[in-house]
Structure 1
Amino acid sequence: MPTSPTIATVSSHSALQIMKGAKDEGFNTLLICDKKREKFYKRFNLVDEFLLVDEFKDILDEKIQKQLNDKNCVLIPHGSFVEYIGGRETMRVNVPMFGNKKVLEWEADRRKSYEWFKKAGIKVPHSFLKPDEIDRLTLVKLFGAKGGRGYSLVKSSEEFKEKVGHFDSEKMQLQEYILGTRFYPHFFYSPLTGENELTGIDLRYESNADGLPRMPADFYMAPTYVVTGNFPITMRESLLPDVFEIADKLTETSKKLFPPGLTGPYSLEMVCNDKLELYVFEISARIVAGTNVGIPGSPYSYLKYGKEMSMGRRIAMEIKKAISENRLDDVVS
């Protein structure tokens, strides 16, 4: 690949941030764009070239991949890759992709994620194997990056049957609901430096769960957890060493499970109880939409770099550094 690749992604999720970060670091940009969204993305003047498709899965087409390779593209995966293309299907994409694309399969399958967590020795909520085992408040979660859509909260097998019905172990996880405050720290692991960097923290704004407290006391509706936005947030500083320890354990364990392991951006989804214990309930093993609150930067990225540094720009900076050190193969797969 020539020394100046084109940074590419699909038109959703964190595409604006990725395009802006690439432009800030001097790269050309290409957006694989749903035809209906072209007008929107043109408003920001961040895209040098649009590759129009009918649907995101068109990226699996060999003709599309040839066009991307002819333009020397490096693909930046985000949540829409996991949800609309699929973790396993992404493995078929024969275009250089930032990070280790093997990790997307471990993210998409919650059973594999839990195997990873347990081998890393970190605290996780209990996961029930079947509805009959449910004996406490439990969140029914669907596999994949669905932004909270389709989740249900139940406290017994009877309530599961009433709210959900059929249990499919290939598509659902029954996860103990830990009461506490939620945090979604964003990390970047650099294989060039061997360092984990905290680049920000967010909290999700969910419908209708975050709207229900505004209703009268005698009103009841079952909560849903569809992510509609994100808030920036900071964390009690005395908890941050524990957060870094968890991140370090996960990245080191990943090197054994799927070499060369987790690289580039990722986010831990965790809850802190009133004993100040941290439980990890999920991982997003690529850039998350919550990093959009960190444009142009966050308090933590400023502490690290002393300048504006979004996750999108951090990705582009890593690619630029890898090229200068003739190590691009270490940051793409």
Structure 2
Amino acid sequence: MRIATYASHSALQILKGAKDEGFETIAFGKARAKPLYTRYFPVADYFIGGTYPEKELLELEAVVIPTGSFVAHLGVELVGDMKVPYYGNKEVLKWESDRSLERKWLEKAKLRLPRVYDDPDEIDGPVIVKPFGAKGGKGYFLAKSPRDFWEKAERLGVRDKEDLKNIQIQEYVLGVPVYPHYFYSKLNRELELMSIDRRYESNADAIGRIPAKEQLDLELNTNYTVIGNIPLVLRESLLMDIIEAGERTVKAAEELMGGLWGPFCLEGVYTEDLEFVVFEISARIVAGTNPFVHGSPYSWLRYDKPVSTGRRIAMELRQALEEDRLGEVLT
């Protein structure tokens, strides 16, 4: 068995973690990326050109680790039909990629969620507008009124109410962005808090460097394309909020779709009242785990060795292999 992933997003971390656990590794994707994974950072034993070279991956007895880039490039339907063994529950992708199903899931987990507006003409305060799918914040925008919404929505191809099915309009909750990264072990039936980050977004973070008067004069539009990630250590008194939210999310997934295992992330903000408000879930490894290739304060508290989320995946696969339980974690 070899561990494979798409050459983008969090592949360096996944492949490094796999090698640390003694697996041979495969990166696949755009040919231009090959030197990154084989020469500059030699974490891939094999590199295969192509978005999804199924025949070669089957011949190499690969197990694919999904990332946001992989799902975005292939699409949920193709991932569902792929023949190469896949780490995780594919059914989860349908719930993650459809914001109405995603909300049903998070509501069942009894998480505090922002209000969602079905009709933009009902907007009565600040909202954030998001297209469906994993796009790394691309295309998000803020609006404060129905008129403001319709003026800005055209950038997403939304020209009338028939186009609203491709977006979600959420209440904009003022708070500090907090992205906890979890790992749920299906083999051990245990949730682990791996690390926490916040995102560095363009041009939302860049605008803050421009005086307010000049922002108004320049008529700048805010965007939230993710450029990188910043490590975050949360107040210790808030950690149980985060852990209990993760536990309830896993329990709801077991009831709705047959389970969520492996890495996932609840994306939200902490308000000034110290309330954790969740606006979405990423049901796979997120790029926010990348600052923690050598582990985080939380993984160090649990393990006596460097454990990234990528390595934790490989540890789970190693355990499944040794206990002859691969069928429980692969789909």
Question: 2:110, 2:78 → 1: CA distance?
Answer: 29
Question: 2:148, 2:329 → 1: CA distance?
Answer: 46
Question: 1:23, 1:33 → 2: CA distance?
Answer: 19
- Kept in 1, the 8 Å contact 2:58–2:84? The answer is yes
Match of 1:288 in 2: 286
Whether 1:103 and 2:103 are equivalent positions in the alignment is no
Instruction: Tell me the secondary structure at the aligned position of residue 66 of structure 2.
Output: coil
Match of 1:138 in 2: 127
Deviations 1:196-227 (A, max 9, x none): 10000000000011111211332112211110
Q: How do 1:107-126 and structure 2 match up within 5 A? A: 107-126=96-115
Match of 1:327 in 2: 325
Amino acid at match of 2:12: L
Question: 2:79, 2:302 → 1: CA distance?
Answer: 32
Deviation at 1:188, TM superposition (A): 0.1
Match of 2:165 in 1: 170
Deviation at 1:136, TM superposition (A): 1.2
Amino acid at match of 1:297: G
Match of 2:237 in 1: 238
Deviation at 1:111, TM superposition (A): 1.2
Q: RMSD over aligned Cα, in angstroms?
A: 1.1
Instruction: Tell me the secondary structure at the aligned position of residue 196 of structure 1.
Output: strand
Deviation at 1:87, TM superposition (A): 2.0
Question: 1:253, 1:293 → 2: CA distance?
Answer: 29
Question: 2:329, 2:46 → 1: CA distance?
Answer: 24
Amino acid at match of 1:209: A
* % identical aligned pairs: 48
Deviation at 1:71, TM superposition (A): 1.1
Quick check: 83-92 or 18-27, which moved more?
Answer: 83-92
Match of 1:33 in 2: 29
Amino acid at match of 1:262: L
Question: 1:94, 1:87 → 2: CA distance?
Answer: 14
Instruction: Tell me the secondary structure at the aligned position of residue 81 of structure 2.
Output: coil
Whether 1:8 and 2:4 are equivalent positions in the alignment is yes
Match of 2:264 in 1: 266
Residue of 206, 214, 221 corresponding to 2:209? 214
Match of 2:246 in 1: 247
Gaps of 5+ in 1: none
- Kept in 1, the 8 Å contact 2:36–2:42? The answer is no
Question: 2:21, 2:283 → 1: CA distance?
Answer: 23
Amino acid at match of 2:72: E
Deviation at 1:20, TM superposition (A): 0.2
Deviation at 1:86, TM superposition (A): 1.4
Amino acid at match of 1:144: G
Question: 1:326, 1:41 → 2: CA distance?
Answer: 30
* Bigger share in helix: 2
Instruction: Tell me the secondary structure at the aligned position of residue 184 of structure 2.
Output: strand
- Kept in 2, the 8 Å contact 1:28–1:48? The answer is yes
For the structure 1 residues 154 and 217, does the alpha-carbon distance in structure 2 shift closer, same or farther, using more than 3 Å as the test?
closer
Question: 1:136, 1:84 → 2: CA distance?
Answer: 34
Deviation at 1:273, TM superposition (A): 0.8
Instruction: Tell me the secondary structure at the aligned position of residue 219 of structure 1.
Output: helix
Alignment: residue pair count: 320
Instruction: Tell me the secondary structure at the aligned position of residue 195 of structure 2.
Output: strand
What TM-score, normalized to structure 1? 0.94
- Kept in 2, the 8 Å contact 1:106–1:113? The answer is yes
Question: 1:79, 1:170 → 2: CA distance?
Answer: 21
Deviation at 1:82, TM superposition (A): 2.3
Match of 1:198 in 2: 193
Instruction: Tell me the secondary structure at the aligned position of residue 91 of structure 1.
Output: helix
Question: 2:173, 2:28 → 1: CA distance?
Answer: 39
Match of 1:84 in 2: 73
Residue of 176, 179, 183 corresponding to 1:184? 179
Deviations 1:94-134 (A, max 9, x none): 11111112112211111111010111211100111121121
Residue of 89, 93, 96 corresponding to 2:82? 93
